[in-house]
Structure 1
Amino acid sequence: MKRRNFVQNSVLAGASLLTTGLLKTDPAAAETAASDTGKPFHLNYGIHDGMFKNLAGDDFIDQIKFAYDQGFRSIEDNGMAHRPVDQQKKIGDTLAKLGMAMGVFVQPGLGNDNNLLASGKAEHLDKFITSCKEAVEVAKRINGKLVTVVPGDFVRNLPIGVQTGNVIEAIKKGTSIIEPHGLVMVLEPLSDNPDLFLRTPDQAYAICKAVGSPSCKILYDMYHVQRNQGNIIPTLDWVYDEIGYYQIGDNPGRKEPGTGEVNYKNIFKHIYDKGYKGVLGMEHGTAGAGKEGELALIKAYREADSFI
């Protein structure tokens, strides 16, 4: 038996056990789970490397094929720029053959500690410009259009308005490089530590408006929004025309929908009703362990996606 067929049969067996368990407590849910196996979701959720390693193996390409068979139609990969060139091309070819979309990858060579765009210093701007040029080449290999950009940390000896102006000017220079290639940098407000310059969607919104380029948008990571301020749906509406990408993660724990306090079924319906057709990156871990945990993750997305 071919490896992929073996994996598919193993998953179907696991899904059958899962459905049997549901049948004892919720016959309607069990019927839905059985009928939806392999059916594309209403929204375009993007898996990441390692999400299905127990069910499909360690090879990311095998995980991509497995995810397609479960109804997922996109991926994201923060570390794509650091993969070998030949692997980038193989992933791009696999996505093209399956008709799957590429979500975000993180702009190469930059982190919070070496990307202090708020400082206005030439050394940081030069690194940023170089990374924009590198991102263009990575995107060509994977047929990607979205690159995550984090401006870095606050600079404590400058007023916030000056720092904001420095970030805007840097992003303008970056978009002048990527815009001719049809790429979009998505600015991500984060909640990881209090030193970060960019923390809220309204702050990113102001920067996008000032930059004034279709290649500068917001990465609306709902895990970080919930941790920083909550009010996910109203905040989403306020900045909607500048959102270029979404990421998912329940809070607390940053695991799949249904494991924390966020009502993702309501949020997904809201995003769907607004007409969003892009990728929603699954940037979170898995609450359960092993194959059972990965099957539970698929079930969690079926449940959160059942808003129609």
Structure 2
Amino acid sequence: MPKLAANLSTMFTEAPFLERFGRAAQAGFSAVEFQFPYAFDADDIAAELRRHALDAVLFNLPPGDLAAGERGLASLPEARDRFRDSLEPALRFARATGCKRLHCMAGVLSGPASMAEREAVFVANLREASAVFSPHGVRLLIEPLNPFDTPDYFLTSVEQAARVVEAVASEGVGIQYDFYHQSRTRGELIATFDRFRALIGHVQIAGNPGRHEPDTGEVNYGFVLAALDARGYEGFVGCEYMPAGDTEAGLGWAKQWLKAGASA
């Protein structure tokens, strides 16, 4: 049975970040994910998780300088030291919150390095990071992003992600499969999930176009979620979408799955 996780970086933004945990719990979620928690105290986040009986199931490693256009460091040859420096704060937050999955962003293309050189750096960084996180039961995930929303991002297909994961050759590294990004690039949503299921450690959803509620747009998420359920997927489904209006008012699509998860 797929379990829904509210993404608190994109949902419940009517409230300040630390108040969103309570909003998610009140709406029926038992799990949350978020993108970059580093502006907050890890202990404060942990306290909100305990207060509302929520599990933190995913967040991102530090992304570099977002204002300067960086979207991760892991494939950047010139950022090896900065990538290493990002591991300690991520581990500290993971241990404080009990989160067992971290999204390691690849980064956008810059500088003269070839794609092959960048992939070699990506693999080496993931091996090094996995050695840091795996002893704590934390798994790193890499996510292909569509090139329309994030131009020049290094990792753009599940096939490319699988090649990287297989080169790393560690159980501590897997794929984060976002149906929204896949719908914008290649399609074949369930067939691709089936093909790479052994490597997939987390999935996310959002409507396309617009990245709004999953019951908007051209993707039939009723079919997608039922297909995941039929395949025995018991992982989390991150709701990384931007509500078109009030978050709670747009949750009608989720009621069936939240109710099923609560009774499971």
TM-score normalized by the length of structure 2: 0.86
**Whole-angstrom distance in 2 between the partners of 1:77 and 1:128:** 20
**Whole-angstrom distance in 2 between the partners of 1:116 and 1:73:** 31
For 1:1-308, list aligned pairs within 5 A: 42-49=1-8, 51-52=11-12, 59-67=19-27, 70=28, 72-94=29-51, 98=53, 100-110=54-64, 113=70, 115-121=72-78, 124-155=79-110, 157-191=112-146, 192-287=149-244, 289-290=245-246, 294-295=248-249, 297-302=250-255
**Whole-angstrom distance in 1 between the partners of 2:75 and 2:150:** 16
Contact 1:256 1:285 in 2 (8 A): yes
**Count of residues paired in the alignment:** 254
The superposition leaves residues 96-136 of structure 1 with CA deviations (integer Å, 9 ceiling, x where unpaired) of: xx2x3212111125356274443423xx1121122122211
Gaps (5+ residues) in structure 2?
Answer: none
The superposition leaves residues 40-89 of structure 1 with CA deviations (integer Å, 9 ceiling, x where unpaired) of: xx42111133734669998223213313xx3x221111122331233122
**Whole-angstrom distance in 2 between the partners of 1:206 and 1:107:** 21
- Shift of the 142–119 alpha-carbon distance from structure 1 to 2, 3 Å rule, reads closer
Using CA pairs below 8 Å that are at least 6 residues apart, which structure has the higher relative contact order? 2
TM-score normalized by the length of structure 1: 0.75
Contact 2:42 2:97 in 1 (8 A): no
> Aligned partner of 2:60: which letter?
V
Over the residues paired in the alignment, what is the CA RMSD in angstroms?
2.6
* Bigger Rg, which one: 1
Higher-helix-fraction structure:
1
**Whole-angstrom distance in 1 between the partners of 2:36 and 2:73:** 20
Gaps (5+ residues) in structure 1?
Answer: 1-41
Hey, what does 1:25 align to over in structure 2? none
Report % sequence identity: 26
